Amino acid sequence: MSAEPRLTEHERALYARQLRLPGVGEAGQLKLRAAKVLLLGAGGLGSPVGLYLAAAGVGTLGIADPDKVEVSNLHRQILHGFDTLGLPKTISAAEALAEVNPGLTIVLHPEGFIAENAADLVARYDLVVDGTDNFPTRFLAADACVLGRKPLVHGSVLRTEGQVGVFLPGAGCYRCVYPVMPDPASVPTCAEGGVFGATCGVIGSWMASEVIALLLGQRQESRLQVVDLAAGVSRALRLSTDSACPVCGAHPAIRQLEPARYAATCASSPRSSPSAMSAYPLEVSIEEAHRLLASAEPPFLLDVREPGEFAVCQLPGAKLIPMNTVPERLAEIPRDVPVLVHCHHGGRSMKVTQFLRAKGYAQVANVQGGIDAWSLKIDPKVRRY
């Protein structure tokens, strides 16, 4: 009869501060040691995720990334350095993670995460972490986890904003929020929009903490956390299964991972020219919003701030639907007229704009700068806060 698993004295010393936490102890640390986590992407998000999971004592970490280290990566992808330029990211990451925790088992998947291997990879791990930067892989990861009944932790960043999603089997998935893959031309990439390295650090660390919480059995529901570092705020959207979801709903249309569905990639799908983009812009300037609202047929103006903010100042005719209530109040947002979405500075409203577009709203645009820009450029009588 085999002996019951126990921590070594070295492990007790290494994880001493972590072992003292409620819900961890030796039993929790043994759960982490036995866990197998698949990390998609060893870049800006994958770097802090990988480092903190290795340091926390997760036993096996798989790394799927087909890219090589480039100099433009280094300001945010802290697994890599000048000495690993040109190396595959999987190898560079493995070297760095082994320094953090020599006892870590690292499995490399330099072919990346593609439709042809997704189901097999998901089946080999307990949990998947998606830190990739393109929609085809995000949707592939989401679908593969639903079909494989594995939890998914998702992260994304742009400029000073980010999202952290936790999607549990049977409790709402990524497609419940974003049912249709958007046109890559509709959302700027980090290369175009820019990103602070520290933003990746915050979001990646948050993702790692969610992975650890899941492995310890401390998460019971799906949720999407939206973080605006510039404004210093974060908001959680609690999720549940959408009966119309194409992959986990009552009548799913997606039952297998067909390669054609995920054929586009960032490398093979360059940004479209303006003429090829959606006829309705993703964003409008504050001046253009003013012009449209003053026209004979003004658009529907949606304010997604909180009630306390709305009480401080508001634009005439605006409909208040706070961001975290939008999914359950879609019936209040018209589909047959243009919609302008605004918030305080434009961060929350951009997330809602993207969400509404994914839900089939063809004429919806974000108001750049939000109500603060309106006060500065259009009407100084609107109170700033």
Cα(372)–Cα(342) distance, integer angstroms? 10
**What are the residues whose beta carbons fall under 8 Å from the beta carbon of 38, sequence distance 6 or more?**
62, 64, 121, 122, 124, 125, 127, 128, 129
Predicted pLDDT at 4: 81
Which pair of tokens denotes residue 364?
């919806």
- Report whether 245 contacts 171 (CB < 8 A): no
Predicted pLDDT at 270: 36
pLDDT at residue 275 greater than cutoff 60: no
Cα(30)–Cα(36) distance, integer angstroms? 12
Predicted pLDDT at 186: 57
Q: What are phi and psi of 320, to 5 degrees?
A: -85, 115
Q: What is the pLDDT of residues 45-64, one digit of tens each?
A: 999 999 999 999 999 999 99
Mean pLDDT (the chain, rounded) = 89
Predicted pLDDT at 234: 87
Determine which one of 190, 200, 245, 248 is catalytic: 190
Q: Which fold has domain 35-262?
A: Rossmann fold (3.40.50)
Which pair of tokens denotes residue 35?
């866990």
- Each domain of the chain, given as residue ranges in start order, spans 35-262, 278-377
Residue 182 backbone class (left: φ over 0; alpha: ψ -120 to 50; beta: rest): beta
Cα(127)–Cα(123) distance, integer angstroms? 9
**What are the residues whose beta carbons fall under 8 Å from the beta carbon of 7, sequence distance 6 or more?**
15, 26, 29, 30, 33
Task: Kindly report the three-state secondary structure assignment for every residue of the chain.
Answer: CCCCCCCCHHHHHHCHHHHCCCCCHHHHHHHHHHCEEEEECCCCCHHHHHHHHHHHCCCEEEEECCCECCHHHCCCCCCCCHHHCCCEHHHHHHHHHHHHCCCCEEEEECCCCCHHHHHHHHHHCCEEEECCCCHHHHHHHHHHHHHHCCCEEEEEEEECEEEEEEECCCCCCHHHHCCCCCCHHHCCCHHHHCECHHHHHHHHHHHHHHHHHHHCCCCCCCEEEEEECCCCEEEEEECCCCCCCCCCCCCCCCCCCCHHHHCCCCCCCCCCCHHHCCCCCCEECHHHHHHHHCCCCCCEEEECCCHHHHHHCCCCCCEECCHHHHHHHHHHCCCCCCEEEECCCCHHHHHHHHHHHHCCCCCEEEECCHHHHHHHHCCCCCCCC
pLDDT at residue 273 greater than cutoff 60: no
What's the pTM? Answer: 0.71
Q: What angle do CA 142, 334, 282 make, to 5 degrees?
A: 55
Q: Across residues 117-144, what is the average pLDDT?
A: 95
Which pair of tokens denotes residue 241?
């299964």
Higher per-residue confidence, 297 vs 264: 297
Predicted pLDDT at 230: 85
Q: How much of the chain exceeds pLDDT 70, in percent?
A: 92
Predicted pLDDT at 40: 97
Which pair of tokens denotes residue 209?
């903490």
> CATH classification of 278-377 is 3.40.640.10, yes or no?
no
Is residue 200 annotated as a catalytic residue, yes or no?
A: no
Is residue 176 annotated as a catalytic residue, yes or no?
A: no
Higher per-residue confidence, 121 vs 279: 121
Q: Across residues 154-164, what is the average pLDDT?
A: 90
Predicted pLDDT at 239: 86
Predicted pLDDT at 17: 96
Closest CA to 205 of 83, 316, 47: 47
Q: Do domains 35-262 and 278-377 have the same CATH topology?
A: no
Q: What is the pLDDT of residues 200-254, one digit of tens each?
A: 999 999 999 999 999 999 999 999 998 888 888 888 888 888 888 999 999 999 9
- Report whether 224 contacts 237 (CB < 8 A): yes
Q: Across residues 166-184, what is the average pLDDT?
A: 86
pLDDT at residue 16 greater than cutoff 50: yes
